Amino acid sequence: MNSLARGLEVLRAFSGTDGHRTAAQISKHTGLSRAVIRRCLYTLSEAGYVTKIGNHYHLEAKVLSLAQPYYTAINSLPAIAQPFLEKVSQQINESCSLAVLDGDEVVYVARSATQRIMTVSLTIGSRLQSGCTSLGRVLLSNWSDQELQSYLKRNPLTAHTEKTVTSNREWRKAISSVQKNNFALVDEELEIGLRSIAVPVTDASGRVIAAMNVGVQATRISKRVLQTEILATLRTQASGLSQRFSELEITS
C-alpha cells in the first residue's frame, strides 16, 4: 500500500499553495524522488484528481470527494458540532470554530462565521501551528510531559509577534495553565490585533478530541470580557457538544 500512501502525500503537497505545483516542487516538499512523483502524478491525472498544464500540475474538483464523507456523514464531528458553533456566534456575534490536531498542526474542521472583518482569513481546512494558538494549546494540554517534550524538539518555538511565547519554560507553564483552568487564552501571539480563547471538547471516554474557540479583534474585546462573558458561552456549548458525543458513544 506504499503507492496509496505516496499518492496521498502528493495531494497533501498542494496544501497552502495557489493550487498548482511542479513535480520538482512536490518532490522537494515530500522528500520523494522525482521518478516516484511523476508516477504518482500520472496515476492521479488518469484518475481525474489532477491535470497537467505546461510544467505545472493543478488540482481538480474531484479531490473534494475525498473529504466529503468526513463532512457529510450524519455522525461526523463537523456535522454534530455545527449547531453548537452557530449558537455561540448567535449569542456573542463573533465567529466560532472547531479544530482538531493533525500531527502537530491545528486543522479547522467546522466554523460559524460572522460578517466581521478579521485580520486573518480562516476557513474549513485551514492549518495553523498549534503551539501559539488557543486551539492548539487546548489540544496539546491532553498530551503527556514526554509527548510535549518531543513536540518542542520537533517544533522549536519561534516569534510571530513580540508577544509570542518563545521560552520553553514559559510555554510549558502556559500548557499547565490550560490543564488547570480548562481553557486557553492567547493574546496577540500569532498576529498583532488578534486575541482568541478556546475550550476542550471531549468524547464519550472523556478524552479531548477537539477544541472550540472564538477569535476577536483586540481593539474591540478585552481579555476580561473574553474570560467572563465569552468563556462562559463557549463552555456551555462545548459541554453540550461533549454530552452529544457521549450520547452517541463517539470516542477518539
Phi-psi region of 59 (alpha: psi -120 to 50; beta: other; left: phi over 0): beta
**What DSSP line would sit under 36-104, residue for residue?**
HHHHHHHHHHHTTSEEEETTEEEE-GGGHHHHHHHHHSTT-HHHHHHHHHHHHHHHHSS-EEEEEEETT
Question: Is the confidence at residue 252, as pLDDT, over 70?
Answer: no
Q: How many Cβ atoms from other residues are within 10 Å of residue 90's Cβ? A: 12
DSSP state of 132: T
**Domain boundaries along the sequence of the chain:** 2-63, 73-247
Chain centre to alpha carbon of residue 208: 14
Question: Is the confidence at residue 121, as pLDDT, over 80?
Answer: no
At the topology level, CATH places domain 2-63 in: Arc Repressor Mutant, subunit A (1.10.10)
In tens, the pLDDT along 54-84 reads 888 888 888 877 777 776 666 788 889 999 9
Query: Where residue 116 falls among pLDDT bands split at 50, 70, 90?
Result: low
Overall pTM surpassing 0.85 (yes/no): no
Torsion of CA 115, 87, 96, 249, to 10 degrees: -150
What percentage of the chain reaches a pLDDT higher than 70?
A: 93
CA angle 161, 199, 98 (to 5 degrees): 85
As its CATH architecture, domain 73-247 has 2-Layer Sandwich (3.30)
- Write down the H helix ranges in 93-167: 134-140, 145-154
Question: Is the confidence at residue 187, as pLDDT, over 90?
Answer: yes
What integer best gives the mean pLDDT of the chain?
89
In three-state secondary structure terms, 201 is: strand
Query: Where residue 246 falls among pLDDT bands split at 50, 70, 90?
Result: confident
Quick one: cell of 37? 512523483
CA distances in angstroms from 63 to 8, 33, 49, listed in the order given: 11, 23, 6
| Predicted local distance difference test score (pLDDT) of residue 117 | 46
